[in-house]
Amino acid sequence: MSIRIGIDVGGTSTDAVAVDAADRLVAHAKAATSPEPFDGIAQALDAVLAQVDASEVTHAMLGTTHLTNALLERRSLSRVGVLRLSAPAATQPRPGTGWPPELAAVIGPVAVVGGGCEYDGSLIAELDEKAVRTFAESCVGKVGAVSVTGVFSAAHPAQETRAAQIVSEIVGVPVSESHVVGGLSLIPRENATILNAAIISVARNVIDGFHQALHARGLSVESYLTQNDGTLMAAEAAIRFPLLTVNAAMANSMRGASRLSGLDDALVIDVGGTTADMGLLVDGFPKQRVRGTEVAGIPTNFPTPQISSFAFGGGTLVKTSPALAVGPQSVGYRVTQDALIGGGSRLTLSDVSAAAGRDVGFGDAALSAQIPAALVSEAMGWVDQQVRRLVERHQVPQGGLPLLAVGGGAHLVGSDIPGVSQVIRPPHSALANAYGAAIAEVSGSVDRVYNYDRFGREHCLDAAQEAAVDAAIQAGAKRGHVRVAAIKEVPLTYVTGQTCRVQVKATGPLRA
Amino acid sequence: MWTLGVEALAQMALGSRLFGGGGGGDTLGARLVAHQALEDCGQVRVLRPDELDPDALVAGVVVIGTPTVLVEKLPSTDQLAAVVRAEEARLGQKIEALIPVVIGGMELFYPIAAAAALHLPCLDADGMGRTLPVISMTTFTLAGVNVAPLCSADAKGNVISLDTADNRLAGAIARLSAMTLGMANACVCYPMSAATACQVSIPGSLTRCLEFGGLLAQAQAQGTLEPVLGACGGRELGDGVVIAVDRKTTFGFPKGSVTLELFGGQGTMRVEMQNEFLVAIVDGEVVATVPDLISIFDINDLEPLYTDEIQEGQRVRVAVMPCAPQWRQPGMADLVGPAAFGYHVDPVGQA
């Protein structure tokens, strides 16, 4: 018997679940996310462990919004030394060009040194190790982390790894290598790598706190963080690549909703206390953004799900005078006490939903009887319209898709929505995110430029898939159970002959 | 004359993305190269060609390569300065102003960056009024201006110089040589007098990028393309959902098509694409052709989409904007009409 625990730390509540080897939900608990986040984790963990045999727990998975908040609030960020391997090519723009000044302040010493690759993997220049050392010495005592970004490093990561080794020996701080963090396109990848380095110390605190919580309960288990694509990353790796976990919450919800409903292709809406997020599941995984994404005003290109959000949830306030106005203010997690049906005095969407006859999961629906019917129909009409807009933002194929409604505010989602074949409310839907963390798989990916003329297309695609599968096994997947989840080929313009950028992702269940 | 500083670049990037017509590559890196050059070297004077001495030598600045490589191995102002010097040495004359050849996508920002770094003015003009895939596809070629001598340089100090008599041949050789030189080369070409530039170039190009960047931002805020299309006499071709994307992994140029099912039972639209969107066909009837600018927008945020971003299931709006009037001359169809891209259809809308 093997039990895995999934924990989701959201803005308002911390959920924990336990699942067995067949992914059945065997225990769950909820705690308020406290200002000191590990109290919430400890509380939820204790409540779940009281329901299972702790000696059977083999894995613990954490999904958390800590790191996202650190970036958005620019809190506890480390100063970062920035090294680029590209000279004599790509010497401009300087790292950090165009950054908002308050974030540009995280950039410490900068150097652009000899190195980097051509598109075909040949070298622009040998790595200038002497210049790397000079840069490293300029960083000593001045930075908390270093980022290293080489031109076309995805095709040829050896130089980044060597430079990182030199820097790490001299400076003694964590070093982020770009080929692990971002995709092709130098500047957004370098930006992502700098931000990744800047949040490493926050990530270490989070993961140390998680480990202490586990150890204090006698749990000596494999620990993981969930990442933006809905797959797992070993906690040790997450300390090095925390940026890859910052958008994991919605990915967890989507993976959980998929498994709880048994559907691999669907829209998912997660309605919380204050916001509603929607994403598209393709083959059981969150559809990833095609364009890059901005983090705190900085263009980056690390993998992240395509999510659209709107400011409404169970705690959203409804004003009636001078005219009906819904949100965006919300009472958030206090909804269970502040809402009319919770015995409070604030009119929230949960009250309106209860008055419309929906099961909101808390409070006394009779307390909503005083709300005029016209107001109920107008406010629920407004919510329906927001949900319709969110659906329109996603590329729904002909014939529509099912919509999986999860989260504490899922009762707000009506049952008749254009473009949606049916609305499904999976069992335990309020726990979709913690469940999604508990059942997550591990993955490996490849993003490389291949020359089909030299080796043939089939051979190149095979090689790319094999590399992705190996990467998944390296990350902890069960050999023989890894499958290729996505392949994308993009031909390079103007190159005579067939040169293609190939992106492959492979995923598989954890080794026991 | 007007002065171009860092603060204008983001808005110009939105305009240049629009004039990319689905191609031209991501503007971010190139915009930041220009950003740094303007920060380090000061603002750039933007001149009409007639504000220069008619005998002054001007030359075009482009980068040659493939967008995928150009966003990774960004050409620098050192590389641009090296080719400007090489061209001057080849001609035995000082270049007094730079002129953009292409204004769509990333290309817009390299003449600006070079002008800043070399303290030269940049002309408010160009040779395409949009992005087209080959350096010979310009109003300069249409008017008989030779693209040569053309100097092209990689970042390692390798410079090649072409003395071709035929602009199409130069385009083909420049592309082949770019492959050997690492697919991210700075290039100076089309040397001409300011007087010639007055006659053969499309005027007001930088101004238009800035203006249409603003109009597109306005369109995005209002959720309608009216501000953009109203300002240029463009029109919407239809809204629909992408039901098929065909990309052939062919030799040289990527080639393919996008098929939309138009909303409201309005039929099916096919948009043929190579690096850019080139021909739009509704139920068998050709409704727009290159060099008019065919754009596909994400219907939600009205962001212009690149050809390689289009996906099945996407909801899009297709629109066409008329090409620059300077294209409307004999010889245009052979040089940049649909036949030049291998589509045997009659040109539409450029009569």
Average pLDDT over residues A243-249: 90
B289 touching chain A per CB within 8 A:
no
Tell whether A22 is within 8 A of chain B (Cβ): no
- Residues whose CB falls within 8 Å of the CB of residue A358, separated by 6 or more in sequence, listed in order: A411, A412
Residue A388 has pLDDT above 60, yes or no: yes
B183 and chain A in contact, CB less than 8 A: yes
Residue B190 belongs to some domain of the structure: yes
For residues B171 and B85, membership in a common domain is answered with yes
- Report which secondary-structure segment, H or E, holds A299: strand A298-300
Looking at the structure, tell me whether residues B139 and B251 fall in a common domain.
no
Nearest CB to B66; choose among A124, A299, A492: A492
Read off the amino acid at residue A373. Answer: A
User: Is A469 a residue whose pLDDT tops 70?
Assistant: yes
pLDDT at B308: 85
Closest by CA to A304, choosing from A8, A67, A16, is: A67
The predicted structure's pLDDT at residue A447: 78
> Is B69 in Cβ contact with A492 (below 8 Å)?
yes
Name B158's Cβ contacts closer than 8 Å, sequence gap at least 6. B181
CA-based R_g, chain B, Å:
19
- For residues B191 and B241, membership in a common domain is answered with no
CB contact under 8 A, A395 and B312: yes
Q: Which residue has the tokens 């993998």?
A: A303
How many angstroms separate the CA atoms of B166 and A16, rounded?
A: 71
Asked if the C-beta of A24 comes within 8 angstroms of chain B's C-beta atoms, the answer is: no
Residue type, A337: Q
Of A89, A496, A498, the CB nearest to B73: A89
Task: Point out the residue among B71, B247, B313 whose CB comes nearest to the CB of A185.
Answer: B71
Task: Write the residue in B66, B247, B300 that is nearest to A495 by C-beta.
Answer: B66
Residues B192 and B235 in one domain: no
Does CATH number 3.30.420.40 belong to domain A1-77+199-246?
yes
Nearest-CA neighbor of A440 among A508, A487, A512, A511?
Answer: A508
Element (H, E) at A210: helix A200-216
Cβ A314 vs Cβ A411: under 8 Å: yes
Q: DSSP labels for A404-473?
A: EEESTTGGGS-S--TTEEEEE--TTGGGHHHHHHHTPPEEEEEEEEEEHHHH-HHHHHHHHHHHHHHHHH
Pairing type for strands B122-123 and B150-153 reads unpaired
Q: B39 contacts in A (CB within 8 Å)?
A: 97
> A29: buried, middle or exposed (CB in 10 Å: 19+, 13-18, 0-12)?
buried
Domain contains B250 = yes
Q: Which residues in chain A are closer than 8 Å to B156, comparing Cβ atoms?
A: 88-89, 124
The residue count of chain A comes to 512
Tokens 């009506």, located at residue? A414
Q: Which residues contact B122 (CB under 8 A, 6 or more apart)?
A: B4, B44, B45, B46, B47, B97, B98, B99, B100, B111, B112, B115, B206
Does one domain contain both B254 and B197? no
- pLDDT in tens for each of the 351 residues of chain B? 999 999 999 999 999 999 999 999 999 999 999 999 999 999 999 999 999 999 999 999 999 988 889 999 999 999 999 999 999 999 999 999 999 999 999 999 999 999 999 999 999 999 999 999 999 999 999 999 999 999 999 999 999 999 999 999 999 999 888 888 988 999 999 999 999 999 999 999 999 999 999 999 999 999 999 999 999 999 999 999 999 998 875 555 678 999 999 998 899 999 999 999 999 999 999 999 999 999 999 988 899 999 988 988 888 999 999 999 999 999 999 999 999 999 999 999 754
Beta partners for residue B285, in sequence order: B282
Contact B257, B268 (CB under 8 A): no
Task: Look up the ipTM and state it.
Answer: 0.95
Whether residue B129 sits in one domain with residue B42: yes
CATH of the domain at B114: 3.40.1610.10
A397: which chain B residues are within 8 Å (Cβ-Cβ)?
Answer: 312-313
pLDDT, one tens digit per residue, over A428-452 is 988 999 999 999 999 888 878 788 8
Nearest to residue A150, comparing CAs of A134, A166, A135, A161? Answer: A161
Q: Residue A480: is its pLDDT beyond 80? A: yes
Is A80-189 assigned to CATH 1.10.1660?
no
What DSSP letter does each residue of B92-150 carry, written as one string?
Answer: TS---EEEES--SGGGGHHHHHHHHHHT--EESEESSSS--SSTT-SHHHHTT----SE
Interface of B with A in 65-124 (CB under 8 A): 65-69, 71-74, 76-78
Residue A295: pLDDT band (50, 70, 90) is confident
Residues B117 and B41 in one domain: yes
Contact with chain A for residue B338, Cβ under 8 A: no
Whether A464 and A170 have beta carbons less than 8 Å apart is answered as no
Q: Are residues B142 and B255 in the same domain?
A: no
- CB-nearest to B179 from A91, A489, A496 is A496
Partners of B37 on chain A (C-beta within 8 Å) are 92
Min distance B309 CA to chain A CA atoms (Å): 7
Give the range of the structural domain holding residue B199, as residue numbers without chain letter: 2-205
- Which residue is associated with the tokens 């160009």? B126
* CB contact B167 to A (< 8 Å): no
The domain spanning residue B299 has which CATH number? 2.40.390
**Within a domain: residue B222?**
no
Q: Nearest-CA distance from A241 to chain B in Å? A: 21
Chain B residues within 8 A of A184 when measuring between CB atoms: 68, 71-72
What pLDDT is attached to residue A75? 82
Q: How high is the pLDDT of residue A290?
A: 73
Name which of B32, B78, B156 is nearest A93 (Cβ-Cβ): B32
Question: Would you state the CATH architecture of domain A262-436?
Answer: 2-Layer Sandwich (3.30)
Give the separation between CA A64 and CA A43, rounded to whole angstroms: 15
Are B198 and B91 within one domain? Answer: yes
Q: Is residue B180 within 8 angstroms of chain A, CB to CB? A: no
Residue of B nearest to A291 (CA): B309
Does a structural domain hold residue B168? Answer: yes
d(CA A463, CA A469): 10
Which of the residues A493, A496, A499, A500 would you substitute to probe the B interface, choosing the one with the greatest number of B C-beta atoms within 10 Å? A493
DSSP type of residue B253: S
Judged by a CB distance cut-off of 8 A, whether residue B312 touches chain A is yes
Q: Do B261 and B306 lie in a common domain?
A: yes
Write down the pLDDT at residue A37. Answer: 66
A165 touches chain B (CB under 8 A): no
Best of B38, B68, B135 to disrupt the A interface (most A CBs within 10 Å) is: B68
Q: Do B13 and B152 have their domain in common?
A: yes
Compute the distance between CA of residue A396 and CA of residue A401 in angstroms, rounded to an integer.
7
In a domain, B216, yes or no: no
Verify whether the Cβ–Cβ distance A493 to B73 is below 8 Å: no
Residues A252, A245: contact at Cβ < 8 Å? no
Choose the closest CB to A395 out of B36, B247, B313: B313
Q: What is the pLDDT of residues A399-438, one digit of tens each?
A: 788 999 999 899 999 998 888 999 999 999 889 999 999 9
Please write the tens of the pLDDT for every residue from A337-368: 899 999 999 999 999 999 999 988 889 999 99
User: Does B178 reach chain A within 8 Å, measured CB to CB?
Assistant: yes
Which residues of chain B from 134 to 153 reach within 8 Å of chain A, CB to CB?
none
User: What domain count does chain B have?
Assistant: 2
- The answer to whether the Cβ–Cβ distance between B73 and A152 falls below 8 Å is yes
Between positions 228 and 287 of B, the ones with CB within 8 A of A are: 241-243, 247, 249-254, 261, 275
DSSP SS3 for B191: strand
CA–CA distance, A389 with A376 (Å, rounded to integer) = 20
Contacting A residues, span 281-300, partner chain B, CB-CB under 8 Å: 290-291, 299
Distance in Å, alpha carbon of A144 to nearest chain B alpha carbon:
26
Dump pLDDT digits (tens) for A317-341: 999 888 889 988 888 778 888 999 9
* Domain match, B137 and B192 both: yes
Packing angle between helix A186-198 and helix B28-41, nearest 10 degrees? 80
Q: What is the pLDDT of residue A310?
A: 87
